[in-house]
């Protein structure tokens, strides 16, 4: 209890038990709100699901309509002494219940994959993972060393950062048509969009992290004779490594946000195409299941990286799992 109380104080400490309690509540509270909206008719349920159209010609069983329109249809049938429509209160089709989404989620992993390319959530998501992996890898291979050099060498910063500052304001989707024209219509332009969306921010963030290195370390190392590459590889990079690791975790999440944009160009593929197709046919349980998979994999990846960070950099308290 003391740990829970301390968590509500400004700059208080949170112990392991409190973190577990808050973690469980963070999952349960949204689910409870969603369940209340889905299963309790008096909470929302603004529509009526028609079970019997009665004497009304334009109604069909399984059709949804607003409550006011349904009430009007019932009144009209009563005035004409004809069978009145019957229905049950329900939510719009775009808000399926947690049970329906859970069923679609389980079905994605238990059912056999249909024939053809990327016709299931898992196939589509597997393709998206490849896009994310290559996009972030290419961005990191360029952005990390360039960011470190910008932070450590003023001349490189003066030469590179003005251009990077210019390009980072250009939205990555604006490069979509150009990427397709240069790289074709398959996966290459999608990877390029993720690289463009991540690289420029990566250079500036890592350069800023490099500049924050305690300068007394640099001065002490110079006093001991370190300089050039020895100073860079033995003092600067080890000194910024925990913060560099944290930056990469944040920037990986940034790359995920550009995945949706990237998969809208070129050949239809990946989880974005799957979500678009399922929404077009009003299979919103599959849409929510696909979105849940993205969130679970993204959060799981970040948690694993956080735990690894606490093991690798035990002297940095802010590397939090």
pLDDT digits (tens, 9 = 90+) for 25-36: 998 999 999 999
* Per-residue pLDDT tens over the stretch 213-240: 888 888 898 888 888 888 899 989 999 9
pLDDT band at 113 (very low <50, low <70, confident <90, very high): low
In DSSP terms, 88 is beta-bridged to 49
Per-domain residue ranges of the chain: 47-90, 121-313
Instruction: Look up the pTM and report it.
Output: 0.80
Mean pLDDT, residues 77-89 taken together? 90
Question: What length does the chain have?
Answer: 321
Question: 73-102 in b/e burial notation, b at 16+ Cβ within 10 A?
Answer: bbeebeeeeeebbbbeebbeeebbbbebbe
Domain boundaries 121-313, corresponding CATH code: 1.10.3720.10
The pLDDT value recorded for residue 204 is: 94
Distance (Å) of CA 114 to CA 102, 105, 119, 129: 20, 16, 6, 20
């Amino acid at each position: 209890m003391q740990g829970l109380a301390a968590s509500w104080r400004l700059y208080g400490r949170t112990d392991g038990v409190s973190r577990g309690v808050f973690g469980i509540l963070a999952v349960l509270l949204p689910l409870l709100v969603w369940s209340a909206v889905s299963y309790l008719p008096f909470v929302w349920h603004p529509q009526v699901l028609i079970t019997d159209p009665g004497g009304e010609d334009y109604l069909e069983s399984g059709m949804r309509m607003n409550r006011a329109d349904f009430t009007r249809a019932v009144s009209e049938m009563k005035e004409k002494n004809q069978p009145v429509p019957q229905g049950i209160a329900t939510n719009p089709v775009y808000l399926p219940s947690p049970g329906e989404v859970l069923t679609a989620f389980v079905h994605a992993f238990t059912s056999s994959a249909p024939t053809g390319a990327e016709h299931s959530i898992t196939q589509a998501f597997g393709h998206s993972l490849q896009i994310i992996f290559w996009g972030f890898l290419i961005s990191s291979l360029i952005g990390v060393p360039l960011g470190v050099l910008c932070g450590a060498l003023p001349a490189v910063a003066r030469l590179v950062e003005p251009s990077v500052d210019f390009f980072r304001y250009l939205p990555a989707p604006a490069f979509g048509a150009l990427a397709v024209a240069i790289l074709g219509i398959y996966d290459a332009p999608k990877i390029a969009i993720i690289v463009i969306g991540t690289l420029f921010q990566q250079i500036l963030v890592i350069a800023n992290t490099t500049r924050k290195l305690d300068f007394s370390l640099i001065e002490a190392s110079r006093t001991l004779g370190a300089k050039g590459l020895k100073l860079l590889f033995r003092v600067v990079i080890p000194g910024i490594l925990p913060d560099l690791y944290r930056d990469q975790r944040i920037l990986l999440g940034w790359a995920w946000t550009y995945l949706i944009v990237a998969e809208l160009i070129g050949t239809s593929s990946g989880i974005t195409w799957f979500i678009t197709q399922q929404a077009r046919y009003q299979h919103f349980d599959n849409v929510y299941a696909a979105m849940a998979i993205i969130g679970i994999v993204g959060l799981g990846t970040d948690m694993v990286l956080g735990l690894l960070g606490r093991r690798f950099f035990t002297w940095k308290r802010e590397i939090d799992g």
